[in-house]
Amino acid sequence: MKHISFGPLKDWFGYTRRERRSSFILLLLIAAVAGIRLIIPARDMTVEILPAGSSETVPDTMQDRRIPATSRNYKAVNARQSVKALDINSCDSASLEALPGLGPVLSARIIKYRKLLGGFATVEQLREVYGLSEETYNLVSGMLMADPSDVIKISINDADYKKLIRMPYFERYEVTAILKYRELRGKVDGVEELVENKLISAKTASKVKPYLKF
């Protein structure tokens, strides 16, 4: 038989002994990896969509994603509404400053006006505070409450001019008319009497009624 020489083939590839050994090892690694992938299949990552009304348990992380944004917003609003309202007749300026839209200036004005009135009979009286916009009022009014029992009342039959004129709802001519009427009649029985005798207007009467005692 004629001897076959591999010399030319070896010369064509040009491999050294070390290169041939490295190539053989690389081929073994490739074959091993291919065999492992055939034996162990890739993990199935399909996502199961639960039908509506399913009673199967859903992980907490998935439950949060399935809640519509509107539902989460509704819960956030309910959480804010469940917080106890701040009493504007007993709170301090620091508590007011914590509310949205109320800085130190407006908070100080609210406290000052509260002292001038003798307390807030209703939350709506905040609209009378200088510099407090309607937008800010709408923002904070739902977080506040006013206890009318905290209002300091004025004895209309005993108060002098100085005390009556401090009430911001009274005009000077109204205070003068009340004092003269009281001198003539001796006593005022009710706020309706002041309106009937044209000592004050009906608008003024509705504002001062929570602050007067007879």
Predicted pLDDT at 67? 42
- Percent of the chain at pLDDT > 90 equals 58
Once rounded to an integer, what is the mean pLDDT over residues 188-203?
A: 95
Predicted pLDDT at 7? 54
Q: What is the pLDDT of residues 162-172, one digit of tens each?
A: 999 999 999 99
Q: Write down the pTM of the prediction.
A: 0.59
Predicted pLDDT at 4? 53
Rounded CA-CA distance 72/69 in Å is 5
Once rounded to an integer, what is the mean pLDDT over residues 69-87?
A: 53
Predicted pLDDT at 26? 77
**Between 184 and 55, the higher pLDDT residue:** 184
For residue 73, pLDDT beyond 50:
no
For residue 100, pLDDT beyond 70:
yes
Once rounded to an integer, what is the mean pLDDT over residues 57-80?
A: 43
**Between 115 and 64, the higher pLDDT residue:** 115
Predicted pLDDT at 135? 96
Once rounded to an integer, what is the mean pLDDT over residues 83-96?
A: 91
pLDDT band at 14 (very low <50, low <70, confident <90, very high): low
Once rounded to an integer, what is the mean pLDDT over residues 97-112?
A: 95
* Partners of 145 in the β-ladder: 87
How high does pLDDT run on average in the chain? 79
pLDDT band at 57 (very low <50, low <70, confident <90, very high): very low
